[in-house]
Amino acid sequence: MAQVISREELPFDEYTWEFQGQSSGNTQVSFIIVEAKPGQGPRLHSHPYEEIFIVQEGQATYTVGDDTIEARAGQVLIAPAGVPHKFVNSGTGILRQIDIHASPRFITTWYDESAAVQLRA
């Protein structure tokens, strides 16, 4: 049976709405709807599965492993499983994107970036 879910029914946190597939009929994918202001974005983290970013509006700077990537509306970026990544809205307007998690639930390892900077110094 088909389901219709309003964005307002999803858990909201500052600039994201989160859909976890396991909460909706054991769907095998999860996603995050992002509407970030300039300067907003998550800190460094990784997942044991791929994360796909679909940029719909605006631009962002992504760090994926040792790579820094500028992406804008109309582009898709893929962070491989297990690779630390983050992004920040580096534009002047709202960043709208969909972040697809190839998992029925979010599994995230968060990193202390200040420790990573100290290790590189």
Residue 67: what pLDDT?
98
Domains in the chain and their CATH numbers?
Answer: 13-120 (2.60.120.10)
- How does pLDDT run across 69-103, given as a tens digit for each residue? 999 999 999 999 999 999 999 999 999 999 999 99
38: tokens are: 């300039």
On whether the CB atoms of residues 33 and 10 are closer than 8 A, the answer is yes
Give pTM, 2 decimals: 0.91
List, in order, residues 6 or more apart from 46 with CB less than 8 Å away: 82, 83, 84, 85, 108, 109, 111
